[in-house]
């Protein structure tokens, strides 16, 4: 099997920065680089901690971010409005666009002295220069966006009697939006450059990342200067991430396109036909990171529903990572055994679910099962059941091996976990169809897996991993709940009881809100109580997606729309998990480097 797809790509992207850091560290330690100018990363981390304790970092970032956002808002809003007008009106365009093009060409930092003359050394001049540089970028992009709209779409608006204002709102704005967003992305990058630049020159301000860099340079505190540089990089990266988030929100039609591409129509039909109930069925397919081998193996691979594996991947990695943080070290072979074992049990539960849904007629002719393999005759029901049991057997074998190696506690976890995974939809208990799905999945794919993976590495239990797994558990329950929300009507008709059918639509939507927002509340609480380092607040970067999902669930009960919510909830779980892991990894990496702090 070859590692590719999104996960592989992400890992690949991490490689070059990490390599650079290692090279750098090695080169200074070996004496090839003068540490006075190029202090090793480990000592920069030390400076970071020092500045954080003083509150310098927090203050600088807030000040710079505030200037960026203020300048951006003041520049972008009028630019979009004017750009729409110019895009649609040829005379106005001919009149004004040449001037805009000329001013656009001037490096904005070059007009800073002029602005300083007019507005003085204070905040106003910094924000004004930023706003000006943002304005022209967004303006030109908006005009290009409007001009790129298919003329026929404007004719459609006219034919249906759109007023001028309606033509702007219903055609020009949404049609130009892709380029507007692209312009905003560029503009935010420029805003960062300009703000840091103005903070150098007009250091009238007390705080700011630019101020930090400039002042550290003046007193030759090189490490602090590097902290400023790193902060700038992080700010740029975070802004980019935020606008990517906004893009997904604003351009859902494009996001969908990327996700399901050419197979879209057929897949839409399949999704509508009920593509996915069961533990994590119907999860988005894009997370399928391992390319399946062709032929018979491929069918089996699909039967395991690999796209849902991230639900297991996140807690297992989290547990192992927490053990490493606790000083227990990290043994890759043990980690691999844990991961494969847990995935085997997960795959087993998926296949057993396919089998029982089929024999119990939950998935009948007009509703393809989660994988649909039985219904399409690619696997017989018996084969599916046998496959599930084989997967369980593999999971059990690995569990036994781990128990022998690391201690009987693993045995206990397995003895509880395996039957639950089977009877999740297995006859006769069918716990998932008695309103227990969310709790079961939440507990299993939250605390149980995290603690298990922790124990394998550390040979002990601890409260930390259990607590940190809670937000992950809430989100995994939210995935399942989103699935049940979508299928509520069908499930009711088939006598399958889930929390969604039991609560009724309005309260079921509330449960979703509680699960998703609860995860963030938990993170905030854990950070505030000092259970984990503040870096776990990195997970807040996924908050925009969470909020948009909550809004969508509040707004709709349509299965089709909820299908999107389901996929996006799974994406949220993964993103949240990765951010959490990244947040825990950062300080750890710093500490792993010898001689840090």
Which is nearer to other proteins, 2 or 159 (by Cβ)? 159
Least distance between other proteins and beta carbon 552 (Å): 12
- 366 binding other proteins? (CB under 8 A): no
Min separation Cβ 275 and other proteins, Å:
13
Q: How far is the CB of 372 from other proteins (least distance, A)?
A: 17
Our finding on whether 409 is near other proteins (CB under 8 A) is: no
Please state the closest distance from residue 182 (CB atom) to other proteins, in A. 15
The C-alpha atoms of residue 570 and residue 568 are separated, in whole angstroms, by: 5
Nearer Cβ to other proteins (96/255): 255
Residue 263 or 507: the one with the smaller Cβ distance to other proteins is: 263
Does 4 interact with other proteins (rule: CB under 8 A)? no
Q: In angstroms, what is the minimal distance from the CB of 314 to other proteins? A: 29
- The answer to whether residue 272 forms part of the interface with other proteins (CB under 8 A) is yes
DSSP string, 445-487: IIIIHHHHHHHHHHSS--HHHHHHHHHHHHHHHHHHHHHHHHT
* Alpha carbons 1 and 430: distance in angstroms, whole number: 34
Site string for other proteins, 561-580 (x = CB under 8 A): x-x-----------------
Q: Tell the smallest beta-carbon distance from residue 142 to other proteins (Å).
A: 16
What's phi and psi for 544, nearest 5 deg? Answer: -55, -45
Regarding 435 and contact with other proteins (CB under 8 A), the answer is: no
Locate all alpha helices (DSSP H) within 202-309, ordered by sequence.
209-218, 222-250, 252-260, 264-272, 296-303
Residues forming beta bridges with residue 2, ordered by sequence position:
291
Residue 162 C-beta: closest distance to other proteins, Å: 5
Distance CA(281)–CA(61), nearest Å, equals: 42
When the beta carbons of 171 and 449 are compared against other proteins, the nearer one is 171
Q: Tell me, residue by residue from 129 to 168, as one string, x for binding to other proteins by CB under 8 A and - for no binding.
A: ---------------------x-xx-xxxxxxxxx--x--
Using rule CB under 8 A, residue 251 touches other proteins: yes
Any contact of residue 253 with other proteins (CB under 8 A)?
yes
Cα–Cα distances (Å) from 171 to 175, 248, 387, 540, in that order, read 6, 19, 52, 34
Q: DSSP string covering 351-419, please? A: HHHHHHHHHTTSS-TTS--SS-TTTTTSS-HHHHHHHHHHHHHHHHHHHHHHHHHH-THHHHHHHHHHH
Where does this chain touch other proteins (CB under 8 A) — which range of 101-109, 111-119, 218-226, 558-566? 558-566
- Characterize 178-199 residue by residue with b for buried, 16 or more Cβ atoms within 10 angstroms of its Cβ, and e for exposed: bbbbbbbbebbebbbbbbbbbb
Q: Tell me which DSSP letter residue 293 carries.
A: P
With CB under 8 A as the contact rule, the residue among 177, 188, 222, 538 that binds other proteins is: 177
257's tokens: 């396109």
The one among 233, 269, 493, 592 contacting other proteins by CB under 8 A = 269
Specify the residue, 43 or 563, whose C-beta has the smaller distance to other proteins.
563
How far apart, in whole angstroms, are the C-alpha atoms of residue 456 and residue 465?
13
**Contact region with other proteins (CB under 8 A), list: 138-146, 266-274, 375-383, 586-594:** 266-274
Backbone φ, ψ for residue 2 (5° rounding) = -110, 135
* Closest distance to other proteins from the beta carbon of 159 (Å): 5
Among 174, 204, 407, 435, binds other proteins (CB under 8 A): 174
Q: How far is the CB of 168 from other proteins (least distance, A)?
A: 13
- Inter-helix orientation angle 332-359/409-423, to 10°: 20
Question: In what helix (H) or strand (E) does residue 290 lie, and over which residues does it extend?
Answer: strand 290-291
Residue 86, class by beta-carbon neighbours within 10 Å (0-12 exposed, 13-18 middle, 19+ buried)?
Answer: buried
Describe the crossing of helices 559-592 and 41-54 by its angle, rounded to 10 degrees. Answer: 110
Among 15, 30, 105, 265, interactor with other proteins by CB under 8 A: 265
Binding residues vs other proteins (CB under 8 A): 150, 152-153, 155-163, 166, 170-171, 174-175, 177, 251-253, 256-257, 260, 264-265, 268-269, 272, 558, 560-561, 563
């Amino acid at each position: 099997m070859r590692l590719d797809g999104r996960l592989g790509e992400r890992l690949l992207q991490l490689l070059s920065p990490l390599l650079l850091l290692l090279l750098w560290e090695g080169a200074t330690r070996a004496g090839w680089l003068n540490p006075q100018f190029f202090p090793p990363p480990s000592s920069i981390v030390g400076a970071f901690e020092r500045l954080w304790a003083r509150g310098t970092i927090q203050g600088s970032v807030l000040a710079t971010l505030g200037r960026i956002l203020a300048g951006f808002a003041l520049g972008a809003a009028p630019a979009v409005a004017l750009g729409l007008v110019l895009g649609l009106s040829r005379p106005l365009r001919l009149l004004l666009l040449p001037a805009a093009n000329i001013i656009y060409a001037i490096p904005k930092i070059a007009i800073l002295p002029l602005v300083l003359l007019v507005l003085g050394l204070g905040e106003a001049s910094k924000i004004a220069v930023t706003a000006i540089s943002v304005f022209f970028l967004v303006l030109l992009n908006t005009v290009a966006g409007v001009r790129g709209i298919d003329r026929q779409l404007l004719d459609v608006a006219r034919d249906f009697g759109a007023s001028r204002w309606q033509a702007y709102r219903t055609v020009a704005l949404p049609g130009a939006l892709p380029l507007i967003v692209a312009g905003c992305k560029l503009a935010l990058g420029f805003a960062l450059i300009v703000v840091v630049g103005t903070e150098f020159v007009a250091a009238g301000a007390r705080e700011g990342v630019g101020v930090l860099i400039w002042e550290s340079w003046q007193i030759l505190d090189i490490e602090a200067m590097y902290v400023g540089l790193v902060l700038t990089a992080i700010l740029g990266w975070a802004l980019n991430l935020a606008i990517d988030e906004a893009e997904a929100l604003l351009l859902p039609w494009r996001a969908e396109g990327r996700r399901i591409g050419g197979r879209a129509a057929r897949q839409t039909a399949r999704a509508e036909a009920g593509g996915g109930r069961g533990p994590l069925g119907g999860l988005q397919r894009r997370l399928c990171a391992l390319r399946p081998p062709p032929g018979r193996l491929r069918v089996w691979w699909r039967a395991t529903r690999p796209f849902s594996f991230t639900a297991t991947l996140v807690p297992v990695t989290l547990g192992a990572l927490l053990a490493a943080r606790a000083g227990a070290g990290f043994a890759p072979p043990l980690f691999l055994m844990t991961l494969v074992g847990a995935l085997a049990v997960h795959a087993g539960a998926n296949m057993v679910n396919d089998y029982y849904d089929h024999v119990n007629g939950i998935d009948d002719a007009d509703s393809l099962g989660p994988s649909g393999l039985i219904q399409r005759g690619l696997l017989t029901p018996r084969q599916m059941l046998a496959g599930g049991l084989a997967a369980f057997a593999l999971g059990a074998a690995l569990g036994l091996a781990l128990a022998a190696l690391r201690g009987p506690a693993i045995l206990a976890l397995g003895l509880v976990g395996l039957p639950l995974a089977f009877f999740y939809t297995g006859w006769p208990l069918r716990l998932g169809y008695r309103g227990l799905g969310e709790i079961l999945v939440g507990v299993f794919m939250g605390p149980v897996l995290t603690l298990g993976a922790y124990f394998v590495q550390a040979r002990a239990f601890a409260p930390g991993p259990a607590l940190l797994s809670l937000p992950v558990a809430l989100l995994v329950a939210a995935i399942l709940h989103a699935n049940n929300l979508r299928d509520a009507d069908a499930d009711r008709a088939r006598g399958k009881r889930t929390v969604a059918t039991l609560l009724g639509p309005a309260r079921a939507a509330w449960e979703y809100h509680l699960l998703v927002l609860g995860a963030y509340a938990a993170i905030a609480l854990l950070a505030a109580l000092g259970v984990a380092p503040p870096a776990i607040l990195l997970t807040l970067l996924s908050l925009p997606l969470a909020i948009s999902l909550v809004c969508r669930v509040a707004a709709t009960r349509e299965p089709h729309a909820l299908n999107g919510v389901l996929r996006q909830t799974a994406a949220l779980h993964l993103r949240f998990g990765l951010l959490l892991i990244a947040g825990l990894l950062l300080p750890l990496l710093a500490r792993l480097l010898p001689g840090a702090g």
